[in-house]
Amino acid sequence: MTRKPSLASLSINAGAPEAKNGNAFRRGPEFASTFHLSGDIDSQVYQYGRFGQPTWTSLESGLAELEGGDTVIFPSGMSAASAILTSLLNPGDTVLLPSDGYAPVRYYTEQYLIRFGIKLKTIATQDIDSFDFEGITLALLETPSNPMLDTFDIHKAATKIHKHGGLLAIDNTTLTFLGQQPLALGADISMSADTKAVNGHSDVVFGHVSTIDKSTNDKIRDWRKASGNIPGPMETWLVHRSLSTLDVRLQRMCDTAMLLAHELNNHDKVISVRFPGLASDPSHAIAKQQQQLFGFIISFELESKDAADKFLAACQLVYVATSFGGVHSMAERRARWGTDKIAQGVIRFSVGCERHDDLINDVMGALDSL
């Protein structure tokens, strides 16, 4: 082969056993809490189920290849975010979080870190490009943000925070490593809630953290071991299985999202549409510059809470749920949670793997019924 395969192709076999006679294409889950361990402690063998095990190793090696950095897996996206915050911050440090990002990360910081002397600063995603980062120890940011899909220049932010000795972590859940490569753009840390698109079947809660620097990775890995925030072997295996179809799923979801966004943008019942793939979207220029995909999430506004609820009830193919990234299209009225400063009629729509014509027909029909 004259060139290295794409990440899309590599994802099919990432973390697989050596291709030799008698080996399975992918190892099955290993259910073990204890391992034979006689004599002096050998750090090169499995010792105890909380420290490490073969199913973890397979997935972590595959994700490391795809992310471009050492990887630690976790039982949820929130445990991945908690690991970053808790293992890397000390009393007196300042963490920067998005005011318009995933609310539980702010909640965790406010409820469990501030009491230990961690200082919290928040910023709207659209203001990050003009922010100086002076005094920031760690920034854990989203681009595109969830749910309104604002973006910022990762390379620019990394350059500025590194000038002040800080670390930049990117929550890459809305795009995955096939849609955006934070570490290649200069970020120190890339994390993902693999519950969403990486697993993509709405049957596993999971997360991972990838880092450029080994010492950073060691701190995060040690926190997992010490805290016991470990994933089960079955969940780990299910996520590893899903890597093989991630590119196929993403391509279909993102292609359909582009078509649907254009239709929504032209519908008279829709007040506004946010989707980075639209040339008119405020996020388009940066998305085009640093993303490989425009994504599968669309946020659009209807005139009221009542209109949004009626729209959701009228959809036939769309599940009403508070997640995204699965093969099933999902949507919800985000303001119902009370954590996002958005209009009552805003719908976050996660495009699934249904045929594009069927899904668009369903959504347009629901809008026409309003």
| Residue pair 182/153 in contact by the 8 Å Cβ criterion | no
**How many C-beta atoms surround the C-beta of residue 360 within 10 A?**
18
Domain boundary among 206, 241, 276: 241
Residue 337 above 80 pLDDT? yes
Domain boundary among 223, 241, 259: 241
Strands 272-274 and 297-301: what pairing? antiparallel
Query: Would you place residue 104 in the very low, low, confident or very high pLDDT band (cuts 50, 70, 90)?
Result: very high
One domain for residues 210 and 159: yes
Between the alpha carbon of residue 190 and those of residues 44, 145, 184, the distances in Å are: 26, 14, 10
One domain for residues 263 and 125: no
- Of 195, 186, 96, 87, the C-alpha closest to 142 is 96
One domain for residues 66 and 150: yes
Domain housing 81 = 7-241
**pLDDT (tens digit per residue) in 184-241:** 999 999 999 999 999 999 999 999 999 999 999 999 999 999 999 999 999 999 999 9
**pLDDT (tens digit per residue) in 105-136:** 999 999 999 999 999 999 999 999 999 999 99
Task: Give, for 64, the enclosing helix (H) or strand (E).
Answer: helix 54-67
**pLDDT (tens digit per residue) in 258-299:** 999 999 999 999 999 999 999 999 999 999 999 999 999 999
Q: Once rounded to an integer, what is the mean pLDDT over residues 65-75? A: 99
One domain for residues 188 and 286: no
Q: pTM of the full predicted structure? A: 0.96
> Would you give the DSSP letter of residue 14?
T
**pLDDT (tens digit per residue) in 355-367:** 999 999 999 999 9
Q: Once rounded to an integer, what is the mean pLDDT over residues 330-336? A: 95
Average pLDDT over all residues of the chain:
97
One domain for residues 223 and 267: no
Whole-number Å distance between alpha carbons of 143 and 191? 12
Whole-number Å distance between alpha carbons of 296 and 25? 30
Q: What CATH number is attached to the domain comprising 355?
A: 3.90.1150.10
Task: Quote the number of domains for the chain.
Answer: 2
